[in-house]
Amino acid sequence: MTGQGGAPPSAPASRSPRRGGGGPPWIVLLSGVAFLYVAIAAGAAARSRPAPAGATATAEGARAGAAQPAPASAGAGPGGAAPAGPAAQATAPRPIPAGVTLRADPGVVPVGRQSRLILTITTRGGRPLQGARIPVDGPWEAVVVRSAWPPTTRWDAATHTATREALLPGGGRATFALALSAAAPGQYAFRFRVAEVGTGLPVVTVGGTEAPVEVTGTLTVAP
């Protein structure tokens, strides 16, 4: 069929497709809001979901282990200190009882001649004596010590002390001697005391009192 003037009638104009392909703008907006809401709801549900029992128990155990103090080592005493051993618990040594005698040989000498003061120590059993330290009181302004015996005995002229570090077994006997002389006639008195080398404990008398030993002796120097 032709139109006027012999030209065929024009075909109806086709509709151009809508740009965006997503429908009207308000539909796109609603879709975005719905997606955001769903995401927020899913996150809240994940946070509110209870943790597995095993994970909870593990966390509780870790907190309890961190709070619990470390156990004390085996054998530790109060305060974590190790108990004292047998050596530390041993009782302190006691003074050694002994019989001590003193004599002058000879008891009377002329001026310028030497005499000996002889000290004898006899221990009464028990532990050995670790040596003897023997302070001597005397008239040192008038009397001079010439030598000490035995040769292992040291004489200190400044402190007037004889020392012998030889071991004396329990129940044993030891003898010391000082050779001395005087420049003027007279009667001279001496006092000997005995202490143990190392411990410093005095040698004590035999018996219940256990008083420190002190023995005295005299030397007579004739004109």
Q: Is the pLDDT of residue 38 over 50?
A: yes
Could you read off the pLDDT of 119-135 as tens digits, one per residue? 999 998 778 999 999 99
Count Cβ atoms below 10 Å from residue 196 Cβ, excluding itself.
Answer: 21
Q: Identify the residue with better confidence: 16 or 34.
A: 34
CB 181 within 8 A of CB 114: yes
Q: How far is CA 88 from CA 57, 83, 176, in A?
A: 48, 9, 35
CATH 2.60.40.1530 fits 98-222, yes or no: yes
Please, which pLDDT band fits residue 41 given cuts at 50, 70 and 90? low
Could you read off the pLDDT of 77-102 as tens digits, one per residue? 445 555 555 554 468 888 899 999 99
